[in-house]
Amino acid sequence: MKIGVLGGGQLGRMLALEGVRLGQEFVFFDPAPDACAGQLGRHICADYDDEAALTEFAEAVDLITLDFENVPTAATDFLSAFKPVRPGSQALRMAQDRLTEKTFFSDLQIPCPLFSPASDWQQLQASCREIGYPCVIKTRRMGYDGKGQAVVHNDDELAKAWETLKDNDLIVEAFVEFKRELSIIGVRSVSGSTAFYPLTENRHKNGILITSFAPAVADDVRDEAQRYAGKILDSLEYCGVLALELFDMGGRLMANEMAPRVHNSGHWTLDGAVTSQFENHLRAVMDWPLGSTNAIGATAMMNWIGAMPDPANALSYPNARWHDYGKKPRAGRKVGHVNICADNILALQAELGKFAMALGEQLKSSGADAFLR
Ligand code: AMP
């Protein structure tokens, strides 16, 4: 089958790496000339409103999926007249606007932080009064990796946040004192089979995911997480992998956001699960039977951000599996990740200690030393 992917970043690249093994071919659509998935398949380089290029893309493939949730829905609507687009425009609409997304969670009775919209200074002040300090102000659209948001504790900070964010429609959320951040990766196929990976515990630094551990220790909230993700998958008649990010309040969960695509917190599945999230996403959109989502032991995933690891260091550690995205390193850019697997969590902790010793300063400069804290 020829699979078209909207977006050609590292997620599309990893979909192709798994899909080629399954005998599939890939075509990517991405406006960036250096899209790193283009190293693995044909790359149509055009803007998402270029109907001639979208038509050429649709005609070249059997079905269409995506690695980027901010693909304009005008493009997915247009493409769906030619070929199946999975997941489709409805899921994208829900995920592209934080206000729509949080309203959707509330409608499904999935707990989430108190929220209120703000489109001007008066409404922002009123929403902050309603929610109370501290609160988090976020742009409704296009925010990712902690960009386009500010935590405010008082009126002065609010005025400063308004100066930076005022050109956007905003949402005010209550600041949540969570114990830890978790995510659940669910998958639903065209014919409605669903499966869930074990919970993943995630650590962030400056809003960017640095490390994930799976299965998360103290898996007491797994059923609750699965119930929430299941409600989302079923109510959207969703097709593919979906990630739900959650705050653990100590045995009780709140939804933060969802991503209608394969997700960074599922990268551990490449080495630590029977079937990776990438393979299961492809199985789901092709309506193949889903593969087992069981974990094999315990896995830590560390994002590599900015500078490349020196292969002499990172690769000399025999239990590290290095996944390189083929991207030019740049400050703040995810250029790869490392998975370290062990039989169980205790053995994993010992492995991580040895890995940290082997990498030393280099680990710190990557930001991945956060896993030691
Ligand atoms: P987001 O882009 O919404 O995923 O936010 C990025 C990170 O900011 C999250 O992973 C949390 O660490 C933090 N964050 C987001 N929303 C809240 C909130 N309402 N309360 C506390 N921390 C938050």
More confident: 310 or 342: 342
DSSP 42-57: EEE---TT-HHHHHHH
Round to whole Å and give the CA distance between 4 and 84. 10
Round to whole Å and give the CA distance between 289 and 291. 7
> Which residue's CA is the nearest one to ligand 1's atom 13?
207
Mean pLDDT, the chain, whole residue set: 93
Averaged pLDDT for residues 287-312 = 88
Residue 157: helix, strand or coil by DSSP?
helix
Averaged pLDDT for residues 59-73 = 97
> Which residue's CA is the nearest one to ligand 1's atom 18?
175
Averaged pLDDT for residues 230-243 = 98
Q: Does the pLDDT of residue 357 top 80, yes or no?
A: no
Instruction: Evaluate: CB of 204 within 6 angstroms of ligand 1.
Output: yes
The predicted structure's pLDDT at residue 274: 98
> Which residue's CA is the nearest one to ligand 1's atom 5?
146
Q: Does the pLDDT of residue 329 top 90, yes or no?
A: no
The predicted structure's pLDDT at residue 371: 55
The 10s digit of each residue's pLDDT in 164-186 is 999 999 999 999 999 999 999 99
The 10s digit of each residue's pLDDT in 198-211 is 999 999 887 888 89
Instruction: Evaluate: CB of 173 within 6 angstroms of ligand 1.
Output: yes
Q: In the structure encoding, which two tokens stand for residue 299, read together?
A: 């896995």
Ligand 1, closest atom to CA 202?
Answer: 10
- Please state the length of the chain: 373
146 C-alpha vs ligand 1 centroid, how far in Å?
Answer: 7
Round to whole Å and give the CA distance between 342 and 103. 40
Instruction: Evaluate: CB of 198 within 6 angstroms of ligand 1.
Output: no
pTM score: 0.95
Ligand 1, closest atom to CA 143?
Answer: 2
Percent of the chain, pLDDT > 70? 93
42 C-alpha vs ligand 1 centroid, how far in Å?
Answer: 36
Q: Does the pLDDT of residue 370 top 90, yes or no?
A: no
Asked if residue 339 lies in contact with residue 270, where contact means CB atoms within 8 angstroms, the answer is yes
Residue 303: helix, strand or coil by DSSP?
strand
One-letter amino acid at 188 equals: R
Q: Does the pLDDT of residue 145 top 70, yes or no?
A: no
28 C-alpha vs ligand 1 centroid, how far in Å?
Answer: 31
- Greatest Cα pair distance, the chain, in angstroms, is 58
370 C-alpha vs ligand 1 centroid, how far in Å?
Answer: 17
Q: Which of 35, 22, 81, 25 is nearest to 55 (CA)?
A: 81
Q: Does the pLDDT of residue 361 top 70, yes or no?
A: no
More confident: 312 or 103: 103
Instruction: Evaluate: CB of 176 within 6 angstroms of ligand 1.
Output: yes
The predicted structure's pLDDT at residue 204: 87
Instruction: Evaluate: CB of 256 within 6 angstroms of ligand 1.
Output: yes
Round to whole Å and give the CA distance between 212 and 277. 14
Q: Does the pLDDT of residue 308 top 70, yes or no?
A: no
The predicted structure's pLDDT at residue 368: 57
Residue 78: helix, strand or coil by DSSP?
helix
Q: Does the pLDDT of residue 194 top 60, yes or no?
A: yes
DSSP conformation class of 302? E
Q: Does the pLDDT of residue 261 top 60, yes or no?
A: yes
The predicted structure's pLDDT at residue 310: 67
Instruction: Evaluate: CB of 143 within 6 angstroms of ligand 1.
Output: yes
256 C-alpha vs ligand 1 centroid, how far in Å?
Answer: 7
Instruction: Evaluate: CB of 330 within 6 angstroms of ligand 1.
Output: no
The predicted structure's pLDDT at residue 365: 60
More confident: 349 or 31: 31
Residue 312 — very low, low, confident or very high, per pLDDT cuts 50/70/90?
Answer: low
Q: How far is CA 98 from CA 95, 101, 140, in A?
A: 7, 5, 5
One-letter amino acid at 287 equals: D
Asked if residue 139 lies in contact with residue 169, where contact means CB atoms within 8 angstroms, the answer is yes
Instruction: Evaluate: CB of 146 within 6 angstroms of ligand 1.
Output: yes
User: 22-36, 269-283, 301-315: lowest mean pLDDT where?
Assistant: 301-315
Q: On the CB side of 347, how many CA atoms lie within 13 Å of its CA?
A: 10
Q: On the CB side of 140, how many CA atoms lie within 13 Å of its CA?
A: 20
Helix axes 89-96, 98-107, angle to 10 degrees: 110
Catalogue all structural domains in the chain, each as residue range(s) with its CATH number.
Answer: 2-85 (3.40.50.20), 114-174 (3.30.1490.20), 180-372 (3.30.470.20)
59 C-alpha vs ligand 1 centroid, how far in Å?
Answer: 40
Percent of the chain, pLDDT > 90? 80
Q: Which residues fall within 8 angstroms of residue 22, CB to CB, at 6 or more apart? A: 279, 282
320 C-alpha vs ligand 1 centroid, how far in Å?
Answer: 29
Asked if residue 57 lies in contact with residue 44, where contact means CB atoms within 8 angstroms, the answer is yes
Q: In the structure encoding, which two tokens stand for residue 158, read together?
A: 């609010």
Asked if residue 189 lies in contact with residue 239, where contact means CB atoms within 8 angstroms, the answer is yes
The 10s digit of each residue's pLDDT in 81-95 is 999 999 999 999 999
One-letter amino acid at 295 equals: A
Long-range contacts of 176-179 (CB under 8 A, 24+ apart): 176/113, 176/247, 176/249, 176/254, 177/249, 178/247, 178/248, 178/249, 178/254, 179/248, 179/249, 179/250
Round to whole Å and give the CA distance between 180 and 166. 30
Q: Which of 276, 295, 303 is nearest to 343 (CA)?
A: 295
The predicted structure's pLDDT at residue 207: 80
